[in-house]
Homo-oligomer: A and B are copies of this chain.
Amino acid sequence: MFLLNAKDKTPLYRQLYQQLRHKILNGELSSQTKLLSSRKLSQELRISRNTVDMAYQQLLSEGYILGKPRSGYYVETLHNTIIPTFMESTQLESPSEVPDPIKYNFKYGKLSPHAFPFSQWQRLTNECLRNYQEQLLDYHSFMGELGLRKEILKYLRDYRDIKCTVDQVLITSGTEHCLSLACELLKSVTSTIAIEEPGYAGAHFAFKNHGFCIQPITISHHGLNVKELHTSAAKAVYVTPSHQFPTGRIMSITRRLRLAEWAYEHNAFIIEDDYSSHLRYDVKPISSLQGLAPDKVIYIGSFSKILLPSLRVAYMVLPKELAQIIHKTAESRACAVPFMIQKPLELFLQEGHFESHVRKTLRHLKKKHETLIYELQENFGDTISITGMNAGLHLLLQVKLPVSAEDLIAWAAKAGVYIPIKNRIWIDSEPSPYPSILLGFGGIALEDIPPAIRILREVWLDHI
């Protein structure tokens, strides 16, 4: 009647409990059946009485059986119409492709090993685990650690001309989290959000996911065509003015002023995603749009590109009006970023390591950026046109060959060169007749760039 195995990992009491439970649920032990006393059952099964008692106790507290004083335990009257599935369920299908081995990796967003100060971070984490135990054992403010927010604010004031106070700074677990909070704040303002065309697919996804209508706005050489905004229903717009994704353009001050003007005129908001603000190779970082219109801009920044993508720390600067709304909800919420990430990051900034890290990283990336452009021009000449130069972690190529981007990516993959499949960046159809390719250069080593590009030339031009 019961199959108990003392060698099983599952304790005996639990085996008994599970089997009794199963029998009750499937009706084998019917309603009001009296159970054997724990003394009798333990003798019968040759297990300790205590084990049986534990199983009965568990069934009792979960309501499977009923205790009657001076009589014993009886099976509860259950109306089980659902018949639970006790089978092991099968795996969801997932595409099981065997990927080609990657020799050279142009994945967007990946960084190379010396990009992150691992041993320094180890030291700071250990410091946090030793000296901040009381804080680690508690929940924390939804806004993020005050110390970290102050350090970020100091940096933003010095380098990005941000105008705000620390109450307007919020720590989040990444750009998606920032966008999701922006959606929360904007849903009472508008039902339509405008985005750049072409633009960042992650933003498009976030807004759609929150139920907003999307209004694509074209961009020209100087940035967003603000005129189109005026005739749209949108009362919010998402832009990447310092380094338009993916074209890499800088929005000119003329456009910025017009955009701010639009926001004031329509009582609208601008989401400024400054995702790669630190990484500018020709000039110094571009001043933020936020500094021009602090009451109208939701500013988003991140440590993913400059420090570590897997760190999951980003930040927002909110207009005062919106910050006050978030403050009101803060007590019902906990911060999403672990304290043992926030505190080391605060110390990293405070001790001045961040600024030197930015300088060092910039020098290194600039070299890779130059080498990549040089190699592309040497190997492909006019066959390729490059946009998105001088900033960030990627270049956008237009390959003037009568083939598809999918083919170019597949041929490269076969030869060991990984090129990311571009997320949909156009909402309407792509206007160019040529395939465009996004090359990330954050993860590839400097010395690997020339051989990787030579392979691309061979496999791409060979196939034509």
Give the segment of A32-40, A81-89, A229-237, A358-366 that binds chain B: A81-89
Q: How far is the CA of A137 from the CA of B88 in the complex (A)?
A: 36
Q: Would you call A257 and B79 a contact (CB within 8 A)?
A: yes
Q: How far is the CA of A427 from the CA of B86 in the complex (A)?
A: 37
Closest residue of chain B to A201 (Cβ to Cβ) is: B332
Given A202-B332, A329-B205 in contact, is the A254-B174 Cβ separation under 8 Å? no
Q: Which residues of B contact A222 (CB under 8 A)?
A: 63
Q: How far is the CA of A311 from the CA of B291 in the complex (A)?
A: 34
Given A187-B211, A211-B187 in contact, is the A312-B338 Cβ separation under 8 Å? yes
Residues 10-34 of A contacting B (Cβ, < 8 Å): 10, 13-14, 18, 21
Is A139 among interface residues, defined by CB-CB distance under 8 A? yes
Taking the closest CB of chain B, its distance from the CB of A320, in whole angstroms, is 6
Is A190 among interface residues, defined by CB-CB distance under 8 A? no
Give the segment of A44-52, A117-125, A395-403, A456-464 that binds chain B: A117-125
Residues 342-387 of A contacting B (Cβ, < 8 Å): none
Q: Would you call A286 and B107 a contact (CB within 8 A)?
A: no
Taking the closest CB of chain B, its distance from the CB of A317, in whole angstroms, is 11
Q: How far is the CA of A109 from the CA of B180 in the complex (A)?
A: 26
Taking the closest CB of chain B, its distance from the CB of A390, in whole angstroms, is 9
Residues 88-107 of A contacting B (Cβ, < 8 Å): 88-92, 94, 107
The answer, among B94, B139, B261, for a CB contact under 8 Å with A81, is: B261
Give the segment of A157-165, A409-417, A429-437, A446-454 that binds chain B: A157-165
Q: Which residues of B contact A261 (CB under 8 A)?
A: 79, 81-82
Is A407 among interface residues, defined by CB-CB distance under 8 A? no
The answer, among B14, B109, B137, B304, for a CB contact under 8 Å with A116, is: B137
Given A63-B253, A320-B89, A334-B174 in contact, is the A10-B158 Cβ separation under 8 Å? yes
Stoichiometry (number of copies): 2
Q: Which residues of B contact A404 (CB under 8 A)?
A: none
Q: Would you call B284 and A138 a contact (CB within 8 A)?
A: no
Is A275 among interface residues, defined by CB-CB distance under 8 A? no
Q: Which residues of B contact A57 (CB under 8 A)?
A: 282-283
Q: How many of chain A's residues have a CB under 8 angstroms from any CB in B?
A: 121
Q: Which residues of B contact A130 (CB under 8 A)?
A: 118, 122
Is A42 among interface residues, defined by CB-CB distance under 8 A? no
The answer, among B14, B115, B282, B337, for a CB contact under 8 Å with A61, is: B282
The answer, among B84, B92, B253, for a CB contact under 8 Å with A78, is: B253
Q: Which residues of B contact A94 (CB under 8 A)?
A: 167, 327
Taking the closest CB of chain B, its distance from the CB of A358, in whole angstroms, is 14
Q: Would you call A286 and B61 a contact (CB within 8 A)?
A: yes
Is A176 among interface residues, defined by CB-CB distance under 8 A? yes
Given A62-B252, A78-B254 in contact, is the A165-B91 Cβ separation under 8 Å? yes
Closest residue of chain B to A133 (Cβ to Cβ) is: B113
Q: Would you call B126 and A126 a contact (CB within 8 A)?
A: yes
Contact with B along A111-151 (1 / 0, CB 8 A): 11101101101100110011001111111100000000000
Is A248 among interface residues, defined by CB-CB distance under 8 A? no
Q: How far is the CA of A340 from the CA of B286 in the complex (A)?
A: 32
Q: Would you call A136 and B116 a contact (CB within 8 A)?
A: yes
Q: How far is the CA of A264 from the CA of B423 in the complex (A)?
A: 38
Taking the closest CB of chain B, its distance from the CB of A53, in whole angstroms, is 11
The answer, among B125, B166, B257, B309, for a CB contact under 8 Å with A139, is: B309
Q: Would you call B341 and A58 a contact (CB within 8 A)?
A: no
Enumerate 19 A-B pairs (CB-CB under 8 Å) in ascending A order: A9-B158, A14-B284, A64-B253, A78-B253, A80-B257, A81-B257, A82-B292, A84-B294, A85-B163, A86-B163, A89-B163, A89-B294, A92-B320, A112-B137, A113-B137, A118-B133, A121-B129, A125-B126, A173-B312
